[in-house]
């Protein structure tokens, strides 16, 4: 039982490069989320998808785009990476956009030089 | 807007001692509350949740938390710490209204357990 799978696990980019972070869940969840984790700041919501075909901005969406490819997959794209986007990125999913717990992947550690 | 505050970014206890991690929330309506644990280089795992009903909630690994509406608190406790409890702990809130479906996290508390 894989749960939420994120690829890649580590990545180093140069400023201005683009990259897509991949996320897939096998729990038949409707809602999916992208967070970034920075020291001392907890996790902050970047974008979320309440259901297939919908996406909405979270707390820190600037510099990112997302695609809900199908029910299983939710990708996060950095079009022109900046050093301020160096962070650990987590994907999560939940049964629906409600009060059910979210299930997290193991994260992608992204460094931008 | 809702917010979650965890008092103390680092807590250190001896093995066998009481663990107390503090969490306060600010919300216009009583939120649904969660505690997650994160071990090094891993994602977050759910420890316990409060939705409705009993205010004392029991979770995995011997942890429990009590929802106190009057104090807007949801502190996490464990009677006797174990070395394996060393990790970072996050409190999170999910309120209604414009925040419906969105989790707001506290800053995290790193728990160190000394032998």
Interchain contact, B107 vs A40, CB within 8 Å: yes
Interchain contact, B42 vs A107, CB within 8 Å: yes
**Mutation target vs A (from B1, B43, B52, B99; most A CBs, 10 A cutoff):** B43
List, for residues A35-84, the tens digit of each pLDDT value.
Answer: 999 988 889 999 999 889 899 999 899 999 999 989 999 999 999 999 99
Q: Which residues, 6+ apart, have CB-to-CB distance to A88 below 8 Å?
A: A36, A37, A38, A107, A108, A109, A110
Interchain contact, A104 vs B107, CB within 8 Å: no
Average pLDDT of chain B? 90
Of B43, B101, B108, the CB nearest to A90: B43
d(CA B18, CA B44): 23
Residue B44: closest CA among B108, B100, B96? B108
Of B98 and A10, more confident: A10
Q: Give pLDDT, residue B1.
A: 66
pLDDT bin (cut points 50, 70, 90) of residue B108 is very high
Which chain A residues are Cβ-neighbours of B101 within 8 angstroms?
A: 31, 48, 50, 97-98
Q: Containing H/E element for A48?
A: strand A43-49
Task: Report how many Cβ contacts below 8 Å link chain A to chain B.
Answer: 51
Angle made by CA atoms B88, B90, B96, in degrees to the nearest 5: 170
Residue B91: closest CA among A42, A39, A107? A42
User: Can you tell me whether residue A36 is helix, strand or coil?
Assistant: strand
d(CA B105, CA B103): 6
Q: Give pLDDT, residue B53.
A: 81
Interchain contact, B42 vs A106, CB within 8 Å: yes
For B25-34, what is the mean pLDDT? 80
Give the residue carrying structure tokens 């205010």: B55
For B21-26, what is the mean pLDDT? 94
Q: How close, in Å, is residue B17 to chain A by CA atoms? A: 25
**Mutation target vs A (from B101, B104, B105, B110; most A CBs, 10 A cutoff):** B101
Interchain contact, A42 vs B101, CB within 8 Å: no
List, for residues B6-22, the tens digit of each pLDDT value.
Answer: 999 999 999 999 999 99
d(CA B42, CA A13): 22
Angle made by CA atoms B58, B105, B90, in degrees to the nearest 5: 45
Q: Is A83 left (phi over 0), alpha (psi -120 to 50) or beta?
A: alpha
């Amino acid at each position: 039982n894989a749960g939420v799978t994120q690829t890649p696990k580590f990545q180093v980019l140069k400023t201005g490069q683009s990259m897509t972070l991949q996320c897939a869940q096998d729990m038949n969840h409707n809602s999916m989320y992208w967070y970034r984790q920075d020291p001392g700041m907890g996790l902050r919501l970047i974008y979320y998808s309440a259901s297939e075909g919908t996406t909405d901005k979270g707390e820190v969406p600037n510099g990112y785009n997302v695609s809900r490819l199908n029910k299983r997959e939710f990708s996060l794209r950095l079009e022109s990476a900046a050093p301020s986007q160096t962070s650990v990125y987590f994907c999560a999913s939940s049964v629906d956009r409600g009060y059910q717990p979210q299930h997290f992947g193991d994260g992608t550690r992204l460094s931008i030089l | 807007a809702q917010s979650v505050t965890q008092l103390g970014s680092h807590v250190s206890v001896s093995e066998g001692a009481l663990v107390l991690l503090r969490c306060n929330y600010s919300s216009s309506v009583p939120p649904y509350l969660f505690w997650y644990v994160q071990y090094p280089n891993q994602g977050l795992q759910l420890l316990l949740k409060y939705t409705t009903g009993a205010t004392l909630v029991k979770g995995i690994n011997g942890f429990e938390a009590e929802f106190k509406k009057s104090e807007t608190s949801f502190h996490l406790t464990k009677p006797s710490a174990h070395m394996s409890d060393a990790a970072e702990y996050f409190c999170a809130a999910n309120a209604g209204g414009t925040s419906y479906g969105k989790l707001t996290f506290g800053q995290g508390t790193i728990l160190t357990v000394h032998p």
